[in-house]
């Protein structure tokens, strides 16, 4: 199932949630009505008895009672509807609100230990590989259970939360499996449904909380209040109030029951799908299967201590509440079934979590040998290595081996006193060589939207490794990350013909920055040479690394930085493709972090009315792949690229636009309008764009950047399009 089918399925799941919620509310209102009828009948009987001074007939209960109906509707509107709306307003900030409620704190490269750094690296690799913004990571430091979650309304405002038990108790490959599982929820549209489910369930559960609060208040009122009530003939009213409160508490339990049924109906099958996706993403079933085995072997399993865990339990990797790990009302399938779907040969033995680290180095010795390995550390034959070292078979043990993970490899290094280290590697699959792409057919390229695979992850790892270490470190610091991005915008020297103009623009940028922030000026002066010398295919990965830390700055700092970016871009009175892409991506990230992103409603389910926008979009894409020249040859190349794209949009009349009509401003307006099309139409548009990019068999860095910006503008996560030429 591809990204576009996932979007349609997510809408169907939302409709199912609405139906289940409506049924639950209707049944709860019926229960409130019945209780109100009983309470009013007893109140009427009590008051009649007091008025007559003696016995009267029994209480009268009416099947139809307008007052009881008014009470039921009022309680339902105020408590259920009001509670849900209140929770929705609380969750307007998206995933960050959930992370805060669960006690999470932002994890950064500046405050993370060795295991935290490893987690951040895994998240970063998968984000860059899948084409989604690098999500903030929140550490649930008080939670020792093995668990994790992804939350947000869309990929651009997603966050990932991981418990301390998972960070320290899982090996890298197991942690990678868990994060891949969570990225499946990000890419499939599950997160939005999960947040809506939290708001809905809050409205149902608040009934029980309200009833319990009223009962506690009446008990605290004391005997004096009861005497006062009797003196004023209010005993019947007090009895009715107490009865209603007790009923609300009971109905609250019914709400809990329905809430668990809804969560179970919505969540269970998605967990199986996310587990399967994790295997696909990492090409390593041992990762996700190992994490599930550690989850089963952990003392606290996945249980959380946060009081807010019940309403968010359906979001987690493992069962956050149940001790039995998979009862009939559980939000997750039984743990053994999840494991056997990935590892049919599993013998039922769970694994123990790793011990908490005592220093910065950790041996990864909890990697279990797979069936048929014949001993060794996860497929590495230690006897073979012993012979290579001139030792007798059986003389090496796992205590002599250190395991690290590098890209798509597991590297085992043998260290013995007085002996040189022996290294053996085990690959999980061949990744493409630098410069190679995965798809040359546009339809296949776009079919990878919202998907993640081991090749993309390994390619992202290699891209990150090619970025100089001091630039990666700078990109991970909120203040230095500003200097990294501004260094990308420093006006380059393009040669003799424009030397004076370039020099004037650089002088303008330098003067502006020196006056605005001398400290930032020094950072840019230090980093700009390295940034400017980067290969073209490394600019977007470095930009992705730098944007997320900037979002953690204060609003005034973010606003000041935005103004600096705009001023740097305007220094030469023109906007290049990369400058437009950078500003577009940066503003999207910062708006999402501030809770300002609003997903547009679908207005167009076809392209019949959008011929102008399609023509502008494809003309701009076609021109991005040719040299900056107005010669007839380059114009012919652009027309050829446009023609290749035209064949993918046969339902609309397209016309190749001159450069004056397909500039960046027109391009931006066109993509904004096309963002209001349906998922099916967006798929067609991206296929046409990919055809224009790939028509000559190569992808320039500028084409890759612009294609990424188009996909981002259409809110479609696209894996890296690999640059194959200049």
Please choose, from the candidates 59, 36, 76, the residue with its C-alpha nearest in 3D space to the C-alpha of residue 245: 36
State how far the Cα of 345 lies from the Cα of 340, in Å rounded to an integer.
7
Half-sphere exposure of 342 (CA within 13 A, CB side): 29
What's the gap between Cα 36 and its chain centre?
45
Write out 442-500 in H/E/C secondary structure. HHHHHHCCCCCCHHHHHHHHHHHHHCCHHHHHHHCCHHHHHHHHHHHHCCCCCCHHHHH
Decide: 153 and 195 in contact? Cβ < 8 Å.
Answer: yes
Question: Residue 160, SS3?
Answer: strand
Contact 281, 180 (CB under 8 A): yes
For 417, the token pair is: 């006193």
Least Cα distance to 540 among 613, 605, 484, 623 occurs for 484
205 in Cβ contact with 256 (< 8 Å): yes
Q: Which residue blocks in 517-628 are alpha helix, DSSP H? A: 518-532, 539-550, 555-570, 577-593, 611-624
C-alpha to C-alpha distances, 686 to 13, 96, 683, 716, 723, nearest whole angstrom:
26, 31, 5, 9, 17
Bridge partners (DSSP) listed for residue 427: 409
Q: What SS3 class is residue 428? A: coil
Report how far residue 641's alpha carbon sits from residue 618's, in angstroms, rounded to the nearest whole number: 9
- From the candidates 156, 182, 579, 703, which is the catalytic residue? 182
Instruction: Based on the residue annotation, tell me whether 125 is a catalytic residue of this protein.
Output: no
Asked whether 582 and 620 are in contact (CB, 8 A), the reply is no
Q: Please report where in the chains the tokens 């990932």 appear, as a residue.
A: 160
Q: Tell me the catalytic residues.
A: 182
């Amino acid at each position: 199932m591809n990204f576009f089918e996932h979007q349609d399925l997510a809408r169907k799941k939302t409709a199912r949630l609405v139906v289940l919620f409506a049924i639950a509310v209707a049944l709860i209102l019926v229960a409130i009505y019945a209780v109100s009828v009983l309470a009013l009948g007893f109140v009427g009987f009590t008051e009649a008895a007091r008025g007559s001074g003696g016995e009267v007939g029994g209480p009268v209960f009416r099947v139809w009672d307008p007052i009881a109906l008014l009470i039921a509707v009022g309680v339902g509107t105020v408590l259920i509807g009001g509670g849900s709306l209140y929770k929705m307003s609380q969750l307007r900030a998206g995933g960050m609100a959930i992370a805060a409620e669960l006690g999470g704190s932002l994890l950064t490269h500046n405050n993370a230990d060795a295991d935290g750094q490893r987690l951040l690296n895994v998240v970063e690799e998968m984000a860059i590989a899948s084409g989604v913004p690098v999500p903030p990571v929140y550490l649930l430091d008080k939670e020792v259970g093995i668990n994790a979650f992804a939350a947000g309304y869309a990929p651009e405002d997603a966050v990932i939360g991981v418990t301390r038990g998972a960070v320290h108790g899982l090996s890298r490959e197991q942690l990678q499996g868990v994060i891949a599982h969570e990225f499946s929820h990000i890419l499939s549209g599950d997160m939005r449904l999960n947040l809506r489910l939290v708001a809905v369930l809050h409205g149902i559960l608040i009934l029980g909380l309200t009833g319990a609060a009223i009962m506690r208040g009446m008990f605290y009122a004391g005997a004096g209040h009861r005497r006062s009530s009797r003196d004023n003939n209010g005993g019947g009213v007090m009895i009715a109030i107490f009865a209603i409160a007790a009923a609300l508490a009971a109905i609250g339990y019914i709400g809990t029951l329905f809430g668990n049924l809804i969560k179970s109906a919505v969540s269970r099958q998605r967990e199986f799908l996310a587990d399967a996706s994790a295997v696909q993403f990492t090409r390593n079933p041992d990762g996700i299967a190992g994490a599930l085995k550690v989850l089963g072997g952990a003392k606290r399993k996945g249980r959380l201590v946060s009081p807010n865990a019940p309403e968010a339990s359906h979001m987690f990797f493992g069962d956050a509440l149940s001790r039995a790990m998979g009862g009939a009302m559980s939000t997750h399938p039984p743990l053994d079934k999840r494991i056997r779907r990935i590892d049919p040969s599993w013998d039922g033995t769970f694994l123990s979590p790793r011990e908490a680290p005592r220093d910065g180095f950790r041996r990864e010795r909890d990697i279990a040998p797979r069936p048929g390995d014949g001993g060794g550390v996860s497929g590495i034959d230690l006897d073979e290595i012993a012979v290579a070292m001139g030792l007798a078979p059986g003389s090496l043990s796992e205590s002599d081996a250190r395991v690290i993970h590098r890209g798509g490899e597991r590297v085992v290094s043998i260290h013995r006193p007085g002996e040189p280290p022996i290294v053996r590697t085990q690959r999980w699959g061949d990744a493409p060589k630098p410069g190679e792409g995965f798809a040359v057919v546009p339809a296949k390229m776009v079919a990878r939207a919202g998907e993640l695979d081991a090749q993309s992850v390994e390619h992202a790892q290699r891209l990150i490794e090619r970025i100089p270490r001091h630039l990666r470190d700078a990109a991970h610091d909120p203040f230095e990350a500003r200097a990294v991005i501004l260094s990308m915008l420093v006006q380059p020297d393009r040669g003799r013909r424009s030397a004076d103009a370039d020099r004037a623009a650089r002088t303008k940028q330098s003067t502006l920055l020196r006056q605005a922030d001398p400290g930032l000026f020094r950072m840019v002066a230090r980093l700009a040479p390295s940034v400017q010398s980067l290969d073209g295919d490394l600019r977007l990965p470095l930009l992705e690394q730098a944007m997320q830390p900037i979002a953690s700055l204060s609003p005034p700092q973010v606003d000041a930085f935005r103004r600096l970016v705009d001023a740097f871009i305007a220094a030469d009175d023109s906007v290049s493709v990369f400058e437009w892409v950078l500003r577009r991506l940066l503003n999207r990230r910062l708006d999402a972090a501030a809770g300002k992103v609003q997903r547009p409603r679908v207005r167009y389910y076809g392209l019949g009315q959008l011929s102008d926008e399609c023509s502008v979009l494809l003309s701009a894409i076609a021109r991005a792949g040719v040299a900056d020249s107005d010669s007839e040859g380059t114009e012919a190349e652009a027309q050829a690229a446009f023609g290749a794209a035209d064949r993918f949009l046969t339902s609309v009349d397209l016309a190749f636009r001159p450069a004056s009509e397909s500039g960046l401003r027109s391009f931006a307006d066109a993509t904004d309008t096309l963002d209001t099309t349906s998922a099916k139409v967006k798929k067609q548009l991206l296929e046409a764009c990919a055809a224009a990019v790939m028509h000559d068999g190569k992808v320039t860095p500028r084409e890759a950047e612009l294609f990424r910006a188009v996909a981002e503008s259409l809110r479609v996560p696209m894996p890296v399009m690999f640059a194959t030429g200049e």
